């Protein structure tokens, strides 16, 4: 901890070397410790008082079996050897066994004074816990305590597993727990800004209720994001971010198996960059700097540095004022760069096999998550071929033309044409995942390799899911003199890219690569309507919190 | 590509949605394409002229068997079906077979006019290629062409595998390739700013040469970093970054198997933060913002959002003016946060098992890389126990005291004391990897949970490799009121951390976590003397390039 890398402060203070500086001097330690102790005691007394008040203070010989756990008992007091059972593991085989479980009180319902039901939730699984007053076992005060829990509080329950004769509707697990002891570990504020039930409701349910004359609460996207800590507890959101984790994992495992290595390149880049408004600028120790809009430069240097095949997963920053359903100011970029022997098809082949195997794995290994998501946001499984369809840009333009849509054959496709082409491809080839290659050179970055036989076109490709672009890739120009010529032809001041061009002067293998937006892949695989649904804490031009 | 997320510019222009905007209008496409074609032709003519000049232009009926490959042939002209063999796969079993290989000309040596040796290198493996003039097979012009290659040029060789009677000293592979065809794919500049041979030399070799009266070139750290594209081609550097990739992979695979999920949290954070000088500040769409010094806030929200166990691998930014061997302004942080049932030992147990299994895997699976690194930077394998040693801070202070070193028992250890303690631990327990826990509360961040029985101490720990800290972790305060009290006791304006505190108001499970610096783990596992050796493109207060 004697580490000057320590951030002095709070939230931003991370673990490695965290702490120390900025805090009171060592001499103040004792004083501070006393203060802390006082604060804790006050805390505990308040909790005890609140608990007592809520229970109308009748003397209860069974009082030790329930209550708010004092903070002191949650401060790593002991390693007791107790075992908590995961809620998802509560099954009929455990009948009559005593279990200890921890979860959130999702719903609480009292039935008279002698019975209460508490549905506990953990990681998207729920179980019904039953508190029934019984002599020498469960007091009415305990029933009252359970009934008085606030929703979303964290609760420890000790009890006996039973199997009711009828199916349980309000919980995922088909057993109940007959409560013997119940303790509140952490009490949630009584008024939640979002009810999980409301946040978990599908549009369909709201519509159907409306037809029946009822009004159900619908939680808007912005409210969700403002209270993300509650919003992400819904089964759909639990599913979405488990899928996201899996996509990243599949991406890496596939590439590692193909002899790629993972690299980490700097996000702090010298210069203010040509990008202008699209770039976040900052001062770096007195020098102008900006945040990387992609690892393009560094992944190419890595190839020229003989790593052969590299990939990176890291944040990408775009300062543009885009207020669409699919743009973010910060997102997770999946980037790949590799030597090629002779053709950019080698890169497209990696994309093909990587994504087909990823889709396969998601469908096979994430069934539960996919179901949870589909419950709230219904979608049809993605249609894709065993061998991914490749069309040239010219073929795409021709298909559009035949469907009565004229596009500039040397221009770019706009979002609408891309969607339309997606539809046409689906009708003709029965796939929602395909690659379009050989784009006009003029619509690609200057470092894109032109086509051999017609430099109006380029050795480049885009990849689409459900009519929306998720990947862009190409063979790069690896010859420094030609790269300079291309930059000049594109009106770029060559002085500003000298580091880049110089990387190719010491022998540069032919190479290519591509970039993917993680949030987009997840959004489009799941046919979600907004990229904010697949970004854990999204950043857009108007959102910088939480 | 009709994507307004497109960065308009160059280097920073990444794949996803790259290109398009900022480039000349579609109408200029043709003109530009023509320019590009012209540039290419000029390029090719120049190359051909250079090649011809260097070969003194005698008519050679075998001229098709060697030369500089024209750019057009490297523009994805065709998928030929040719197979390149990896240099590392060239073994005796291939005797008499014809192979096609691609690599860098590491050394080139002519023997008279009829013979030349070219050692080709690829991914750290090397093979000797022999060009011998022979009627109707190899011309003297071809020998001259080979002898005239510049070092580090990328070369395609077609030839027959032979097995010489004596061991080959100058190459890793114990076969030779009798060259039939040789083409230069990419010519390196004739004068390299760094010779790979020099960059790959060990200190020992330089010392021994000095004793023998010879002077061998030693390449300084700064020169290496200035020409990183060459420096990273050395076998040691190839090994270091493959090890780094493997450390990240082991970290993730272990945690995924333990039911952690991977998250991506924003690096752009609202507010200018308390951190002051340690924080990089920027403007975000008119709002003050800064770069995250750690994912602390967001990983804790994720736990309160019911993900149970999360980790993240991502950049961490520290604007401090640290000019030491182990500080960077940007590094790859490995961050973990998890619910705990009752004790912070649950977190330490993850650290224990994670790192022991990581060290095991590195030693077993990366032998070749470790050897390559040790050749240049000799080191002894890390000593670690099957079950990681845990000492309390107080025990550590006592050990130092017994060794005659007095430290403040409620202060922090400085770098020197940490080193000393590392030595003492090694002597007494025979391990260079251990954990020190129960630090004084005063030297940890305000959100650290105090100890149950003595709030002078905290439920926190640091982890050390070879006497240097690599990990810091703790149980967190999960009770909002107590967190507020702790912040106040530490002199923090509570208003500035309201988002953080509010995350705990809707039910928060007891939890803890830790953070690791990837570059430090690799540096210390390999006993390297500078963290710049384990950061691919390091950022420190004076370095923002390449």
3-state SS, A12-76, equals CCCCCCCCCCCCCCHHHHHHHHHHHHHHHHHHHHHHHHHHHHHCCCCCCCCHHHEEECCHHHHCC
Q: What average pLDDT does this structure show over A412-428?
A: 97
Tell me how far apart the alpha carbons of residues A360 and A99 are, in angstroms, rounded to a whole number.
Answer: 37
Interface of B with A in 51-90 (CB under 8 A): 71-72, 74-80, 82, 84
Residues with Cβ within 8 Å of B500's Cβ and at least 6 positions away in sequence, in order, are A10, A11, B297, B300, B447, B483
Please give the model's pTM, rounded to 2 decimal places. 0.92
Q: What pLDDT does B9 receive? A: 38
Q: What average pLDDT does this structure show over B181-203?
A: 96
Q: What is the CA radius of gyration of chain B?
A: 29
The residues facing B288 across adjacent strands are B283
Tell me how far apart the alpha carbons of residues A18 and B471 are, in angstroms, rounded to a whole number.
Answer: 9
Are A32 and B345 inside 8 Å of each other by CB? no
Tell me how far apart the alpha carbons of residues B513 and B304 are, in angstroms, rounded to a whole number.
Answer: 13
Both ends of chain A: CA-CA distance in Å?
Answer: 29
CB contact, 8 Å: A388 with chain B? no
pLDDT digits (tens, 9 = 90+) for B218-262: 999 999 999 999 999 999 999 999 999 999 999 999 999 999 999
Q: What pLDDT does B14 receive? A: 36
Are B294 and A442 inside 8 Å of each other by CB? no
Q: What average pLDDT does this structure show over B16-41?
A: 52
ipTM of model? 0.92
CB contact, 8 Å: B136 with chain A? no
A534 contacts on B by Cβ (under 8 Å): none
Q: What pLDDT does A20 receive? A: 38
Peptide bond into A337 cis (omega under 30): no
pLDDT digits (tens, 9 = 90+) for A168-196: 998 999 999 999 999 999 999 999 999 99
Mean pLDDT (chain A, rounded): 91
Q: How far is CA B67 from each of CA A304, A407, B144, B182, rounded to the nearest angstrom?
A: 22, 44, 11, 7
Are A452 and B10 inside 8 Å of each other by CB? no
Tell me how far apart the alpha carbons of residues B368 and B243 are, in angstroms, rounded to a whole number.
Answer: 10
pLDDT digits (tens, 9 = 90+) for A21-54: 334 455 555 566 566 666 666 666 666 666 655 5
Let me know how long chain A is: 546
> Tokens 């602390």 — which residue?
B296
Out of B98, B197, B320, B346, the active site residue is B320
Are B302 and A536 inside 8 Å of each other by CB? yes
Of A18, A185, A413, the CB nearest to B2: A413
| φ/ψ (deg, to 5) at A448 | -80, 135
Among candidate residues A104, A112, A107, A113, the one with its CA nearest the CA of residue A154: A104
Say whether pLDDT at A383 is over 90: yes
Q: What pLDDT does B43 receive? A: 62
Task: Say whether B41 is catalytic.
Answer: no
Lowest mean pLDDT among A526-530, B101-105, B168-172, B269-273: B269-273
Q: What average pLDDT does this structure show over A104-126?
A: 95
Tell me how far apart the alpha carbons of residues B27 and B39 are, in angstroms, rounded to a whole number.
Answer: 20
Among candidate residues B410, B511, B524, the one with its CA nearest the CA of residue B464: B524
Q: What average pLDDT does this structure show over B276-285?
A: 86
pLDDT digits (tens, 9 = 90+) for A342-353: 999 999 999 999
Say whether pLDDT at A265 is over 90: yes
Q: How far does the CA of residue B181 sit from the closest CA of chain A (Å)?
A: 17
Q: What pLDDT does A12 receive? A: 40
Interface of A with B in 314-333 (CB under 8 A): 314-322, 324, 326-327, 329-330, 332-333
Enter the tokens of residue B200.
């790959």
Tell me how far apart the alpha carbons of residues B354 and A214 are, in angstroms, rounded to a whole number.
Answer: 53
Among candidate residues B252, B120, B226, the one with its CA nearest the CA of residue B173: B120
Are A522 and A534 in contact by the 8 Å Cβ rule? The answer is yes
The residues facing A282 across adjacent strands are A289, B282
Enter the tokens of residue A74.
């949650």
If you measure CA to CA, which chain B residue comes closest to A194? B506
* Residues of A recognised as catalytic: 318, 320, 326-327, 469, 472, 520
If you measure CA to CA, which chain A residue comes closest to B247? A262
A536 contacts on B by Cβ (under 8 Å): 263-265, 298, 302
Task: Say whether B298 is catalytic.
Answer: no
For residues A284, A288, A291, A293, the Cα torsion angle rounded to the nearest 10 degrees is: -160
Task: Say whether B187 is catalytic.
Answer: no
What whole-number percentage of chain A has pLDDT above 70?
88
Buried b (16+ CB within 10 A) or exposed e, B221-259: eeebbbbbbbbbbbbbbbbbbbbbbbbbbbbbbbbbeee
- A-B CB pairs within 8 A amount to 674
Largest CA distance in chain A: 92
Please state, as a whole number, how many other Cβ atoms lie within 10 Å of the Cβ of residue B70.
18
| Residue B345, helix vs strand vs coil | helix
Interface of A with B in 137-166 (CB under 8 A): 150, 152-154
Enter the tokens of residue B411.
């202060």
For residues A407, A412, A418, A422, the Cα torsion angle rounded to the nearest 10 degrees is: 80
Q: How far is CA B147 from each of CA A381, B66, B156, B184, rounded to the nearest angstrom?
A: 59, 12, 15, 12
User: Residue A216, exposed/middle/buried by CB under 10 A (0-12, 13-18, 19+)?
Assistant: middle
Q: What pLDDT does A123 receive? A: 87
Task: Say whether B327 is catalytic.
Answer: yes
Q: What pLDDT does B21 receive? A: 37
Say whether pLDDT at A55 is over 80: no
Are B412 and A485 inside 8 Å of each other by CB? no
Say whether pLDDT at B1 is over 50: no
Say whether pLDDT at A267 is over 80: yes
Q: What pLDDT does B320 receive? A: 86
CB contact, 8 Å: B464 with chain A? no
Enter the tokens of residue A49.
């008082």
Tell me how far apart the alpha carbons of residues A62 and A59 are, in angstroms, rounded to a whole number.
Answer: 9
Among candidate residues B534, B496, B497, B541, the one with its CA nearest the CA of residue B516: B534
Mean pLDDT (chain B, rounded): 91
Task: Say whether B511 is catalytic.
Answer: no
Q: Pick the residue with more confidence: B421 or A323?
A: B421
H helices, E strands: number in chain A: 15, 17
Confidence band, pLDDT 50/70/90 cuts, at residue A11:
very low
Enter the tokens of residue A113.
């004074």
Are B268 and A13 inside 8 Å of each other by CB? no
Out of B122, B309, B326, B438, the active site residue is B326
Tell me how far apart the alpha carbons of residues A246 and A517 are, in angstroms, rounded to a whole number.
Answer: 14
Q: What pLDDT does B56 receive? A: 52
| φ/ψ (deg, to 5) at A268 | -90, 120
A282 contacts on B by Cβ (under 8 Å): 280-282, 291
Are A243 and A522 in contact by the 8 Å Cβ rule? The answer is yes
- DSSP run (H or E) holding A197: helix A196-199
- DSSP run (H or E) holding B346: helix B345-365
Tell me how far apart the alpha carbons of residues A121 and A87 are, in angstroms, rounded to a whole number.
Answer: 7
What whole-number percentage of chain B has pLDDT above 90?
85
Tell me how far apart the alpha carbons of residues A202 and A391 are, in angstroms, rounded to a whole number.
Answer: 37
Are A133 and A152 in contact by the 8 Å Cβ rule? The answer is no
Enter the tokens of residue B260.
């952690």
Tell me how far apart the alpha carbons of residues A96 and A163 are, in angstroms, rounded to a whole number.
Answer: 9
Of A71, A412, A486, the CB nearest to B2: A412
Confidence band, pLDDT 50/70/90 cuts, at residue B123:
confident
Residues with Cβ within 8 Å of B501's Cβ and at least 6 positions away in sequence, in order, are B480, B483, B484, B487, B494
3-state secondary structure A82-125: CCCCCHHHCCHHHCCCEEEEEEEEEEEEEECCCEEEEEEEECCE
Enter the tokens of residue B196.
């790979």
Phi/psi zone of residue A25: left (φ > 0), alpha (ψ -120 to 50 degrees), beta? Answer: beta
Q: What pLDDT does A16 receive? A: 38
Say whether pLDDT at A333 is over 50: yes
What whole-number percentage of chain A has pLDDT above 90?
85
Say whether pLDDT at A93 is over 90: yes
DSSP 8-state secondary structure symbol assigned to residue A276: G
Q: What pLDDT does B13 receive? A: 40
Interface of B with A in 401-430 (CB under 8 A): 408, 410-415, 417-418
3-state secondary structure A373-440: HHHHCCCCCCCCCCCCEEEEHHHHHHHHHHCCCCCCCCCCCCHHHHHHHHHHHHHHHCCCEEEEECCE
Strands (E), B235-286: 261-262, 268-270, 281-284
Among candidate residues B337, B475, B506, B346, the one with its CA nearest the CA of residue A104: B506
Enter the tokens of residue B125.
């493996």
Are A233 and B306 in contact by the 8 Å Cβ rule? The answer is yes
The residues facing B128 across adjacent strands are B119, B176
For residues A137, A143, A145, A148, the Cα torsion angle rounded to the nearest 10 degrees is: 160
The residues facing B111 across adjacent strands are B115
């Amino acid at each position: 901890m004697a580490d000057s890398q320590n951030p002095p402060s709070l939230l931003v203070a991370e673990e490695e070397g965290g702490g120390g500086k900025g805090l009171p001097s060592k001499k103040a330690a004792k004083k501070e410790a006393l203060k802390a102790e006082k604060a804790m005691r006050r805390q505990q007394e308040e909790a005890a008082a609140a608990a007592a008040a809520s229970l109308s203070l009748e003397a209860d010989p069974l009082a030790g079996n329930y209550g708010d756990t004092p903070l002191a008992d949650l401060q790593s007091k002991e390693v007791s050897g107790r075992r908590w059972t995961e809620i998802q593991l509560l099954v009929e085989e455990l009948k009559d066994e005593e279990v200890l479980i921890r979860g959130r009180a999702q719903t609480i319902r009292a039935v008279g004074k002698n019975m209460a039901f508490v549905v506990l939730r953990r990681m998207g699984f729920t179980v019904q816990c039953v508190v029934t007053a019984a002599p020498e076992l469960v007091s009415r005060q305990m029933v009252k305590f359970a009934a008085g829990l606030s929703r979303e509080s964290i609760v420890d329950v000790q009890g006996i597993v039973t199997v009711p004769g009828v199916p349980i509707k309000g919980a995922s697990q088909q057993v109940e727990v007959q409560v013997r002891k119940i303790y509140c570990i952490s009490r949630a504020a009584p008024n939640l800004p979002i009810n999980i039930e409301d946040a978990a409701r599908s549009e369909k349910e709201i519509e159907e209720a409306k037809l029946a004359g009822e009004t159900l609460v619908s939680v808007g996207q912005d409210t969700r994001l403002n209270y993300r800590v509650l919003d992400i507890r819904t089964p759909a959101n639990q599913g979405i971010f488990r899928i996201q984790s899996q996509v990243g994992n599949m991406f890496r495992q596939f590439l590692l198996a193909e002899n790629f290595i993972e690299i980490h390149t700097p996000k702090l880049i010298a210069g203010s960059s040509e990008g202008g408004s699209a770039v976040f600028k900052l001062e770096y120790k007195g020098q102008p700097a900006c945040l990387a809009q992609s690892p393009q430069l560094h992944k190419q240097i890595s190839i020229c540095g003989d790593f052969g095949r590299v990939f990176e997963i890291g944040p990408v920053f775009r300062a543009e004022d885009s207020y669409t359903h699919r743009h973010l100011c910060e997102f997770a970029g999946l980037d790949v760069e590799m030597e090629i022997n002779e053709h950019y098809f080698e890169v497209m082949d990696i994309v093909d096999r990587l994504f087909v195997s990823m889709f396969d794995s998601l469908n096979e290994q994430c069934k539960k998550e996919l179901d949870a998501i589909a419950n709230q946001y219904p979608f049809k499984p993605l249609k894709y071929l065993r061998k991914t369809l490749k069309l040239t840009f010219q073929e795409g333009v021709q298909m559009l033309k035949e469907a009565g849509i004229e596009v500039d054959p040397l221009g770019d496709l706009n979002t609408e044409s891309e969607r339309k082409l997606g539809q046409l491809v689906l009708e003709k080839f029965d796939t929602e995942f395909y690659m379009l290659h050989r784009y006009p050179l003029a619509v690609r970055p200057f470092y894109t390799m032109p086509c051999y036989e017609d430099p109006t076109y380029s050795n480049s490709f885009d990849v689409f899911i459900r009519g929306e672009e998720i990947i862009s890739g190409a063979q790069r120009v690896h010859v420094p003199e030609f790269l300079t010529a291309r930059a000049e032809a594109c009106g770029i001041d060559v002085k500003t890219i000298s580091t880049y061009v110089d990387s190719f002067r010491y022998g540069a293998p032919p190479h290519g690569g591509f970039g993917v937006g993680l949030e987009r892949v997840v959004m489009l695989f799941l046919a979600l309507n907004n990229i904010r649904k697949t970004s854990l804490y999204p950043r857009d031009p108007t959102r910088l919190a939480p």
